[in-house]
Amino acid sequence: MTLGDDDKRIIGRVERVDLPRFGLSGLEAKVDTGARTSSIHCTDVRVEAEDDDGLRHISFTLLDPEHPDYNGRRFRARRAGTRIVRSSNGEQQERHVIAADIVIAGRSIRTEFTLADREAMNYPVLLGRRLLRGNFLVDVSLRRAADDDEEE
């Protein structure tokens, strides 16, 4: 078992994650300590009307048709708000934010995800500092370190 300070799991620069709410497992995710918020690739985002509680919902489709886990389903989630995100090329975008559980290295964690078009990126999920802080230590020399833990 690979543990760091305060029982933080050591993970690599790329890890497999599960998103149970969306029926997705084993997705490769890029660990990005430079990103504040985690992000997930989606398309066709639509803001829906407020419900009886005054909360707004959004609907979206996850992944691209070319991705092996693509199922074409539309998902609906409460919109946790919006966030201004600066991309690696310096461009600012306003993105919708949802909260969802993610399972990484055997730990289930509730976190926020911005919904983004990551079609041009190598990984459909990006894990940011808000998720990593207090839970994981990142060793950039490793890839899928959590997979090694599961095999022990």
27-79 confidence digits (pLDDT tens): 999 999 989 999 999 988 988 877 777 678 899 999 888 888 888 889 989 88
Domains present along the chain, CATH in parentheses: 5-40+82-151 (2.40.70.10)
Instruction: Please determine, for residue 2, whether its predicted confidence score (pLDDT) is greater than 60.
Output: no
Instruction: Please determine, for residue 132, whether its predicted confidence score (pLDDT) is greater than 80.
Output: yes
φ/ψ of residue 6, rounded to 5: 55, 35
Predicted confidence band of residue 111 (pLDDT cuts 50, 70, 90): very high
Measured CA to CA, the distance from residue 76 to residue 61 in angstroms comes to: 9
User: pTM for this one?
Assistant: 0.84
Cα distances (angstroms) measured from residue 94 to each of 37, 91, 114, 116: 13, 10, 9, 10
Residue 64 buriedness (CB in 10 A; 0-12 / 13-18 / 19+): middle
In this structure, are strands 14-19 and 24-31 parallel, antiparallel, or unpaired? antiparallel
Instruction: Please determine, for residue 3, whether its predicted confidence score (pLDDT) is greater than 70.
Output: no
pLDDT at 5: 56
